[in-house]
Amino acid sequence: VMSSSSSSSLEIEIFQYIDAHQSDFIKDLKEWVAVESDSVQPHLRKEVMRMMALAADRLAALGATVNLVNLGSHQLPDGQVLPLPSVVLGELGKDPQNPTVCFYGHVDVQPAKKGDGWNTDPYTLTEIDGNLYGRGATDNKGPVLAWINAVETFRALKLAMPVNFKFVIEGMEEAGSLGLEKLLEEEKQSFFSDVDYIVISDNLWLSNKKPALTYGSRGNACFFVEVECGRKDLHSGTFGGIIHEPLLDLIALLDSLVDSTGHIQIPGIYDSVAALTEEERRSYESIEFDLEEHRNNCGVNKFLYGTKEEILLHLWRYPSLSIHGIEGAFHEPGIKTVIPAKVIGKFSIRQVPHMDLSVVEKQVVEHLEGVFSKRNSPNKLKVSMPLGAKPWLADVNDLLYKAARRATKTVFGEDPDFIRDGSTIPVARMFQTVTQKSVMMFPIGAADDGEHSQNEKISRHNYIEGTKLFAAFFLEISKLH
């Protein structure tokens, strides 16, 4: 499996150690998966706490200085107050000659139970046909351990550490990373002051087989469009035909947003989208992406575009607008002949570099107010943007990406796909904004790992080769520094 032709003897020694200790690494993953560290369900919060302590112990065993930072508590919608799990900050090595790489991961998981449709117990790591099934196997306990395994390998072989390590491990990622951004801000001048690079390994390859590096994600600007005619819902027999129905206004407003080809109709919205460079366009050609598989995954008959390049461009680096639904109108099965008095349309724009959130907001508001004013409706219109998450984009020419590309070539024998994510990755953007350091998403899981799904897994291959990948990356980033 390993393409060792171009590997150095140091790499060969490291890789042999990793291969020889596969069972130990899998045993560690089995122990971590056994902890039901579900951060979503309140009654399991103590298991998340226990998991944080295990992660802290594991880092301490590497020789790292470990700080469990208390983030206080949070209140649930039902009024219950729960403690937040501490964030683990770890440091290993302080050689000023070495670059300092900070790794972020999380050890909390999504809910899972056998009855959801799992073939095996979700909290008992089970190997079947080379796959390691268990909740958290790929999201994100496996990758966190792969990083730790890689550091551990250097330590076990008594090799000089090629980099200084920092670790940020949290236990609330699946519940919105509560308190994390505040902690990053607070640690900006201290913990992060000497960090050169940030690596996040909390996503997947685009393909089942081909490695990838993730260098960008779209943002998410969410909009509410509220139209109101009065205080109470009305009977469609008694008022149908004589009033300006708010839902008719709203539907006309929503219908003005996108045409049937998927093109957003808001004037100016594409003006500041970063121009597509020739280099960037070429980078799409080699990406492994099975259109048919992707189509089957979502179950639609046909995409808006016919080629891999067009699909990926529209998923990653062009904005899209989706309408999610309407609050206040009749939504149950059956018939209710009501004229809703106040309706709120919900839509979002996945915006891309270099779209400015405040400009997007202004364009949306002006467009909707323009459409509304043409209707001469006496109703009240209110447009708001309750959430605006920015896109994230790294420079693929950063040393971080060079090192990761070389390590991938060494371990997997091929160049990684350079990919983005159509979804928003708040943690990447958060690290980039707060620390102003170069950020890379460095996945080791495959596209079919089923994160958040039943039968989540990481393959033994990806887990072990991923450990090698991180070790090789340490050597490469050290060499490039």
Residue 174 marked as a ligand binder: yes
Clarify whether 173 is annotated catalytic: yes
Alpha carbon separation from 401 to 119, 158, 312 (Å, rounded)? 38, 27, 20
- Give, as one character, the DSSP assignment of residue 104: E
Q: Which of 83, 208, 422, 460 binds its own copies (CB under 8 A)?
A: 422
User: Binding to its own copies (CB under 8 A): which residues in 47-86?
Assistant: none
236 forms part of the interface with its own copies (CB under 8 A): yes
Contacts of 241-246 with C-beta under 8 Å, sequence gap 24+, read 243/339, 244/375, 244/377, 244/378, 244/379, 245/339, 246/339, 246/340, 246/341, 246/342, 246/343, 246/379
The single residue of 11, 28, 36, 173 carrying the catalytic annotation is: 173
**SS3 call for 392:** strand
Does residue 206 touch its own copies according to CB under 8 A?
A: no
Token representation of residue 440: 């890379």
Task: Name the pairing type of β-strands 220-228 and 380-389.
Answer: antiparallel
Q: For the window 310-349, what string marks contact with its own copies as x by the rule CB under 8 A?
A: -x--xx--xxxxxxxxxx-xxxxx-xxxxxxx----x-x-
Please, what is the end-to-end C-alpha distance for the chain in angstroms? 29
The rounded Cα 423 to chain-centroid distance in angstroms is 7
331 annotated ligand-binding residue: no
Largest CA distance in the chain: 85
Which CB, 126 or 379, lies closer to its own copies?
Answer: 379
**Binder to its own copies among 208, 274, 303, 432 (CB under 8 A)?**
303
**441 neighbors 428 (Cβ within 8 angstroms):** yes
Hey, how many other C-beta atoms are within 10 angstroms of the C-beta on 294? 17
**Integer Cα distance of 472 and 468 in angstroms:** 6
Among 375, 409, 460, 461, which residue interacts with its own copies (rule: CB under 8 A)? Answer: 375
User: 38: number of CA atoms within 13 Å, CB side?
Assistant: 15
Q: Is 298 in the site for its own copies (CB under 8 A)?
A: yes
Determine the residue type at 379.
N
Question: Among residues 305 and 402, whose Cβ is nearest to its own copies?
Answer: 305
In the DSSP assignment, the letter for residue 263 is -
Least distance (Å) between residue 419 CB and its own copies: 13
108 is annotated as an active-site residue: yes
Site for its own copies in 122-181 (CB under 8 A): none
Decide whether 63 or 303 has the Cβ nearer to its own copies.
Answer: 303
Pick between residue 320 and residue 433 the one whose CB is nearest to its own copies: 320
What residues numbered 253-272 form the site for its own copies, per CB under 8 A?
254-255, 258, 260, 262
C-alpha span between 175 and 452 (Å, rounded): 12
Measure the CA–CA gap between 370 and 223, rounded to whole angstroms: 16
244 interacts with its own copies by CB under 8 A: yes
Q: Does 24 show up as a binding residue in the annotation?
A: no
CB-based burial, 39-52: b 16+ in 10 Å, e otherwise: beeeebbebbbbbb
Q: One-letter amino acid identity for 336?
A: K
Q: Which amino acid type is present at position 174?
A: E
Q: Which member of 11, 91, 108, 249 is catalytic?
A: 108
Selected binder of its own copies within 34, 40, 49, 251 (CB under 8 A): 251
374 near its own copies, rule: CB under 8 A: yes
Size of the site for its own copies (CB under 8 A): 77
If one asks whether residue 241 binds its own copies (CB under 8 A), the answer comes out as yes
For residues 348 and 363, which CB has a smaller minimum distance to its own copies in the complex?
348
**Residue 117 touches its own copies, criterion: CB under 8 A:** no
**Residue with Cβ nearer its own copies (375 or 402):** 375
- Of 23, 81, 115, 302, which one interacts with its own copies (CB under 8 A)? 302
Q: How far apart are CA 284 and CA 251, in angstroms?
A: 37
When binding is defined by CB under 8 A, the residue of 222, 273, 274, 357 that contacts its own copies is 222
Candidates 9-17, 49-57, 237-245, 440-448 — which segment interacts with its own copies by CB under 8 A?
237-245
How far apart, in whole angstroms, are the C-alpha atoms of residue 362 and residue 331? 30
The reply to whether 139 sits in an annotated binding site is yes
Instruction: Count Cβ atoms below 10 Å from residue 65 Cβ, excluding itself.
Output: 12
Least CB distance from residue 420 to its own copies, whole Å? 11
Catalytic residue numbers, as ranges: 108, 173
Binding residues for Mn(2+): 106, 139, 174, 202, 452
